[in-house]
Amino acid sequence: MTARSKSNDVSPWVPFEDRRRARDEKRDAVLRMAVKMFLDDGYHRTSLSDVAARLNITKPALYNYFRSKDDILAECYRMGQGMYDASIAQIDASQGSGLEKVRALIRAYASVTMQDFGMCVARLDDRELPPDTRSEVRVAKRRFENAFRREIARGVDDGSIRPCDPKLATFVITGALNGIGMWYRPEGALSSETIAEEFSTRLTVGLSSSLQGKPERLTASIEVPKRKKRPDKSAKTIKSSPRADAHKPLERTRTRVSGKEPV
């Protein structure tokens, strides 16, 4: 009989925590690839087979992480909305006047919208979602709108914002911010920080109570051409017609033939 050797065998199974971490990383990779393709190619034109091919996995492998394409879209919305909610919480905990917080909200909203998951919330149509998930997403969207209304109203109260309708002012601001998702490109000339700062300045110029008087109205210097004088319709003009000309006697014209005139 041979003596038992000291066991140095290593288990072929990865520890549970490592397996769970690897699964979470793969699930996140699916979401990042899917949201990028939804934004670039459109939700309807992106299939699960397309997503799997870009990830170098099989389509059945995707079902280990998500049940359907709708499920992926819903999770992309949740990821984006989570980023918006985190920004709201951070601003709520900060100090500042109503105007300062509105500017902070604009910077935060713009910054999130220029990231893939935030752009998904601003740009993709939530009507593609099942009814229950759609309701969840729309409630989440209203949280940021309510944050704007709340801070605008607070700014009116503390005097940093001139009197206005908080609801209407919020529509103006969020309408402009949502447009970022349609035209922003990471490779563009302006950085996301610059764009966010510009929006926070431009969208609050009309709200700030420190702006004295009314904004000047810009008018372009355009020379308007003078209108041509219309002909007097009362003056009747007689036009000759071919039929009338046919009854006119032909005028005799002098012709020269060999230097002689007709007699």
**Domain-embedded: residue 110:** yes
155 shares a domain with 82: yes
Separation CA 219–CA 206 (nearest Å) = 18
Separation CA 238–CA 197 (nearest Å) = 71
**234 pLDDT above the threshold of 80:** no
**Domain-embedded: residue 150:** yes
Mean pLDDT in the chain? 80
204 shares a domain with 176: yes
170 shares a domain with 85: yes
Q: Give the residue, 49 or 233, on which the prediction is more confident.
A: 49
* Tens digit of each residue's pLDDT (9 = 90 or more) over 96-139: 999 999 999 999 999 999 999 999 988 888 888 888 888 888 88
- Report whether 144 contacts 86 (CB < 8 A): no
* Tens digit of each residue's pLDDT (9 = 90 or more) over 239-260: 544 554 544 444 444 444 444 4
How long a stretch of residues is the chain? 263
Separation CA 148–CA 142 (nearest Å) = 10
Backbone phi, then psi, for 142, in 5-degree steps?
Answer: -70, -20
197 shares a domain with 172: yes
Indicate the pTM of the whole model: 0.69
Weakest mean pLDDT among 5-19, 36-50, 103-117, 192-206: 5-19
Most confidently modeled of 13-27, 133-147, 151-165, 174-188? Answer: 151-165
Backbone phi, then psi, for 178, in 5-degree steps?
Answer: -65, -25
102 shares a domain with 30: no
The domain total for the chain is: 2
Domain containing 51 equals: 15-66
* Tens digit of each residue's pLDDT (9 = 90 or more) over 66-90: 999 999 999 999 999 999 999 999 9
**Domain-embedded: residue 107:** yes
**Domain-embedded: residue 80:** yes
